[in-house]
A = this chain, B = another copy of it.
Amino acid sequence: MRVALAGLGVVGRSLLELVRDRREELLKAYGLNPRFVAVADKSGAVARATGISPHEILEQKRRGGITGIEGAEVKSGTLLDLLGELDIDVYIDATPTNIVDGEPSYSLIRKAILARADVITVNKGPLALAFPAIRELAERRGVIFRFSGTVGGGMPVLEFAKECARADTIVAIEGVLNGTTNFILTRMEEEGLDFPTALKQAQELGYAERDPTLDIKGLDTACKITILANAVLGMKVTLHDVEVVGIDGVAREDIVDALKSGEVIRLIGRAGRRLSVMPERIPKGDTLNVKEAMNAVRFTTQYSGRHTITGKGAGGYETATAILRDLISIKQRRLVET
C-alpha cells in the first residue's frame, strides 16, 4: 500500500511508531504493509518512489526537518504538487485542525481524491466546513473516505454507530465530545474552583492548549457534532448550522446549584432535529456524566434502545490506532473488490 502522509505532530509520529513497531503483526494479521512514498510537515514535503522507512522519517524529524531526507530518487516540493505526480493508494492527513478555511487540509484532500487516492483524515476542519462536498466528490471519484480519528480519538465511535444502525435507525446523538472542557467542569465541580482557575490547572496539566479557544468556546465539540450529523444521520450540514455556547460562561454558582438538585453540568453536543452544543444540566446518574477528560457518546435508536460508548477521546497512539483501523478497513474493502 503506497501511502502519502501529511503532518508529523503527535498523531503523525505515533502512527509512524506504530507502523515501525508492529510491522510484522500488521502484515500477518491484515496483509497490511504501508509504504510511505511521500511525507510532509510544516517544513515541506519529500517523496521517494521506493518508500521512506518510518524509522528514517522519525529520525530526520528529530534532527530538525524531514526535508533533510536525502538519497537516490528523492523529490522535494510541496505536497500539493507531489500528490498530483505520485502513484499513491492512500493519502493520510494528520495536519492540524483549522476551522477558518480548513486549509491546508482541504486542498490536500481534494487533490488526493482527484488523483483517485483513498483518503484518511484526522483533521476536523475540512469535515466541519465541507463534509457534504467532500463526500460527494469522493463518491463521484470512487474513492474511500475515512475519518474515524476525528471523533472520539481511539474509540470506534463511527463504527459503533454503523453497527447500531444495522437493522435499526439512529434518531438522535448526544455526547460529551471534548476532554478539555469536561476536565475543567469536573475540577470546578469536585474542587470548587472557578472557571479561570480550573482552566489554568488544565493548561498546567497539559489538558488544555495555550490558546484554548476551540475547546472552551465549544467549537471542537461543534466540529464533532457536524461530523456525526453528516456521517451517522445522513444530514448535509456544516459547522455554521450548529448553535454553539461554550463553557466560559459557566459560574461556580451554576455548578453548586446543579449539584443541589442531584445534577451536574456537562458540555453536551446534540445532533438530531436540532444541532447544538451547550452546557446542560444532566442527572448525576446519567450515562453522559463522565469525569475528567473522558468522552461519552449516546445513540438513541428506534428499536434497540439507547447505547452509550465512553472512553478516552484523545491521545496520540489512540488516534493513530484509529488511522490504522481506517487503513485496514480500506485494505479489506479494496480486497473484496478485486
Give the B-binding residues of A (Cβ under 8 A).
18, 30, 153-156, 159-160, 163-164, 166-168, 285, 287, 290-291, 294, 301, 303-312, 315, 317-318, 320-322, 324-325, 327-329, 336
Contact = CB atoms under 8 A, between A and B. Distances in A.
Given A167-B325, A304-B321, A310-B310, 19 more contacts: A30-B167, A153-B304, A154-B168, A154-B307, A155-B304, A156-B307, A159-B166, A160-B309, A166-B328, A167-B321, A168-B321, A287-B294, A303-B318, A304-B317, A305-B318, A307-B309, A308-B311, A309-B309, A309-B310
Q: Most chain-B CB neighbours within 10 Å: which of A285, A294, A305, A327?
A: A305
Given A160-B160, A164-B156, A167-B328, A304 B290 contact: no
A163 B166 contact: no
A290 B320 CA distance: 30
A312 B308 CA distance: 10
A308 B305 contact: no
A294 B287 CA distance: 10
Nearest to A286: B291
A315 B305 contact: yes
B167 A160 contact: no
A312 B321 contact: no
Contact of A325 (B156, B166, B320): B166
A-B pairs with lowest CB-CB distance, top 5: A154-B304, A167-B324, A156-B163, A304-B321, A159-B163
A167 B155 CA distance: 12
A290 B287 contact: yes
A18 B154 contact: no
Given A156-B163, A159-B163, A308-B311, A168 B325 contact: yes
Contacts of A154: 168, 301, 303-305, 307
A141 to B, nearest CB: 23
A291 B327 CA distance: 38
A159 B167 CA distance: 13
Contact of A303 (B18, B164, B285): B18
Contact of A321 (B287, B294, B303, B320): B303
B303 A312 contact: no
Contact of A155 (B303, B305, B317): B305
Contacts of A18: 303
Given A168-B321, A285-B291, A307 B303 contact: no
Contact of A160 (B163, B168, B306): B163
A307 B310 contact: yes
Nearest to A292: B285
A290 B296 CA distance: 14
A303 B327 contact: no
Contact of A310 (B156, B308, B336): B308
A307 B336 CA distance: 29
Q: Most chain-B CB neighbours within 10 Å: which of A159, A303, A317?
A: A303
A153 B164 CA distance: 12
Q: Most chain-B CB neighbours within 10 Å: which of A18, A304, A309?
A: A304
A284 to B, nearest CB: 10
Contact of A306 (B303, B312, B320, B327): B312
